[in-house]
Amino acid sequence: MFWQKIIIPVKPQILEHIASSIFNLGASGLEEGNDFFYVYFHQSSWSAKKLEILRGLIEPFIADADAIDIRFEAVPDQNWNESWKENFKTLRVSERIIIYPEWETYQPQKDEYAIIISPKMAFGTGHHETTRMVLLLMEKYCQPGMRYLDAGTGSGILALLAAKMGASAIVAFDNDPVAMENCRENFDLNKIDIPAQLFTGTLDQIHEQRFDLITANIERNVLMEMASDLHRLILPGGLAILSGLLDRDAGKVAALHRAKGWNLIEEMHDKEWMALVLRYE
């Protein structure tokens, strides 16, 4: 069996936002480099139409997507699980937050939050800057007993940290059923036993619930679209941690939420990315 390897000379940070859409196109694998990423399709499923769609996914993040020199290479079959194992090792996000894959053994120390991840098609291993920032901010602001909502949960990594930090109830969703399958698997791996509502869908499906803490690590346009729903779902004095934002876009998102009663209480930067902490007064 041969695969079509698509070589895309774009920084892989954008995969946090488009990976699920790439897999929905029929991709079978992704691989990251420093300033590029690879997408793998079975040769029989690759087409010029999919190339056009792929460029469309990249376009919102790149000034001139049509000018990107996308190249192609035919490669023989390989063991994807073994490739994952070579590239995903135990990650220490902070002194207390540790992320490790299911095939490694880690013995948590006292007061550590050790999260097991089975990396599948859902993004959220803690290696991307936006994920790390939200994890660090949650470590600072998440308190035992909080009711917690994670919008666009992916692998469920943020919701898993909330559970381990003592959230009293968790709601986590994603519009991608593949991501939610992975999220449920990770909840099982971590033996989470507090009430957790995990579903495939959108914010407008949540009714008659309000939360102390909401996280959303999603691209700018979606964060702006969900501003009214966040306003509807937050408790007075509650917090929202928002990321997936490039530095140049964070001001627009913060201004929109300020107009709805939120106050910006902290910013965090990592390379070209930013995370915001907002309090609803």
Measure Cα distances from 263 to 136, 243, 256 in Å: 20, 16, 11
Between CA 278 and CA 46 the distance in angstroms is 43
Q: Which residues contact 172 (CB under 8 A, 6 or more apart)?
A: 149, 150, 153, 156, 158, 159, 183, 196, 197, 198
Half-sphere exposure of 26 (CA within 13 A, CB side): 14
Amino acid at 191: K
The residue among 161, 144, 270, 152 whose CA lies nearest residue 201 is 152
Q: Averaged in consecutive runs of 10 residues, what is the pLDDT profile of the chain (281 residues)? A: 85 81 80 85 86 88 79 73 68 94 88 89 72 96 98 94 97 88 94 94 93 92 89 95 88 92 95 93 84
- pLDDT at position 90: 87
- Residue 206's pLDDT is what? 95
Residue 254: the pLDDT is 93
Q: Which domains does the chain have, with CATH numbers?
A: 2-78 (3.30.70.1170), 128-280 (3.40.50.150)
* Strand bridging mode 2-8 / 71-76: antiparallel
